[in-house]
Amino acid sequence: MNNSYVGIDVGSISTKGVILDNNNKILASVYLWTEGNPISAVKKIIKSLELQIKGKNIVIKGIGVTGSARKLIGTILGANIVKNEITAHAVGTISIHPDVKTILEIGGQDSKIIIIEDGIVVDYAMNTLCAAGTGAFLSSQAKRLGVDVKEFGNIALESKKPTKIAARCTVFAESDLVHKAQIGYKKEDIIAGLCNAVVNNYLNNVAKEKKIKAPIVFQGGVSKNEGVVKAFEKELNEKVYVDECGHLTGAIGIAILSKKENSNIEFNLNIENIKFENKGVECKKCPNNCDIICIYKDNTLIDSWGNKCEKGDSIQPANVNQV
């Protein structure tokens, strides 16, 4: 029997899953859209992972969950570790690039930078202000320009003279973009300008004051955009690595972390036929109106959270049916 470890990364836009063996080799992996329903996404992920390892002599000795819905999914899967995506990404990337010094990441909703020295995280930062310069921002601008966001990278590479776009704030950027398009700038120049703006915004905001040292790895959905990659390389004057499996690093990282927990339990992945339900209950006992999330497994409450004060204690978990 070979020990193996499951890592799940549940993001707002996509969900990723991997199974690693004892040497951190990927035995199975899957990537799909979350579509606003993390539970069904994870069920699909687990099913697909199971299919991939079927017949191999494998026992699951750990399950780790990361990403924005980590708590919910962690409860459902009975994970032995639930951790934030910054740590998971760092650990995952280090396992692929042991000598990495800087990780740049631009995802759907947020962006971050992680600085690594001798294989440990020594500094990191996330975007603070708003979604300007993230994947969601690029998609909305693409729509505005009538271009498929997947084409963005290639179109940007055609530009010889990128237009300057103010991208500090989504609202300002949009009005600037419309204005530039109206006064007749070429589409490819505007798109290249947007890619530059994303990079400048990132370097001036998220990566401010951080010493970006090579080797540099770039991850997250936006890393698939060639235009942004080229803009980074030009600004930083360094090679920027983008991995084929860059989207999986969070899941890989959390699987490795679950291995480190040295758990002796055997995990069961058979959740397909179990009915999970999460109900949001709004506590009306004070104007905070906390959203209390209750998780049911086959109609029994297994966990709940989201409560800010004692007033809501009575709502969770035992008395929830009375509300």
Partner 1 sequence: MNNKNTTIGIPKALLYYKYNDLWESFFNELGINVLYSPETNNEILERGKSLSIDESCLALKIFMGHVDYLVNKVDYILIPRIECLKKHEKLCTNFYALYDIVNNIFNTKILNYNIDVKKGKTEKKAFIQIGKSLNKSHVEILTAYNIAKNVFKESKKQRYFDQLNLLNTSTKNKILIVSHPYNTYDKLIGEPIIKLLKKQNTDIIYCDVFDEEEIKNKHTHISDKVYWTYSKELLGGLVNYYKHIDGIILLTVFPCGPDSLTNEMCMSKINLPIINIIIDELSGEAGLQTRIESFIDIVNEKKKVKNN
Partner 2 sequence: MKKKIISFPHMGNYYIPIKYLLTKLTNCDIMLSPPITKKTLELGSKYSPDFVCIPFKYNLGNYIESLENGANILMQCGGGCRYGYYAEVQQQILKGLGYNFEFYSLTENDKLAAISMYRMFKKINKKLSIVKFLYYTILTLKMISYMDKIDIYIRANIGFEEEEKSFENLLKEMHKDLESTKGFIHLRKTYIKYNKLFRKIKLNKPSNCLKIGIIGELYTCMEPFSNYFLEKNLAKMNVEISRRTNVTYLVIKKRFNTKKILRECGNYCKYTIGADGTDNVSEARMLAKKGYDGLIHTKPFGCTPEIGAMSILQKVSKKEKIPILYFTFDSHTSEEGIKTRLEAFYDMIKMRRENNE
Q: What is the binding site for partner 1 (CB under 8 A)? A: 128-129, 164-166, 168-169, 172, 175-176, 178-180, 203-205, 208
Ordered DSSP codes for 220-249 = SGGGG-HHHHHHHHHHHTS-EE--TTGGGH
**From the list partner 1, partner 2, none, which binds 302 (C-beta under 5 to 8 Å, kind-based)?**
none
Exactly one of 288, 302, 303, 313 binds partner 2 (CB under 8 A); which one? 288
**From the list partner 2, partner 1, none, which binds 180 (C-beta under 5 to 8 Å, kind-based)?**
partner 1
Cβ closest to partner 2, residue 10 vs residue 30: 10
Cβ closest to partner 2, residue 94 vs residue 155: 94
Nearest-approach distance from CB 250 to partner 2, in angstroms: 12
Alpha-carbon distance of 153 to 41, in angstroms, equals: 28
**From the list partner 1, partner 2, none, which binds 272 (C-beta under 5 to 8 Å, kind-based)?**
none
- Taking the CB of residue 110, how many other CB atoms lie within 10 A of it? 22
CA dihedral of residues 167, 169, 175, 181 (deg, nearest 10): 20
Tokens of 291: 């959203």
> Which residue from 153, 160, 121 is spatially nearest to 135, judged by alpha carbons?
153
Nearest-approach distance from CB 165 to partner 1, in angstroms: 7
Report how many residues bind partner 2 under the rule CB under 8 A.
Answer: 21
Ordered DSSP codes for 166-216 = --SSHHHHHHHHHHHHHTT--HHHHHHHHHHHHHHHHHHTTTTT----SSE
Residue tagged 């004051």 (tokens): 209
**From the list partner 1, partner 2, none, which binds 144 (C-beta under 5 to 8 Å, kind-based)?**
none
* Interacting residues toward partner 2 by CB under 8 A: 68, 83-87, 110, 118, 120-124, 126, 128, 209, 286-289, 308
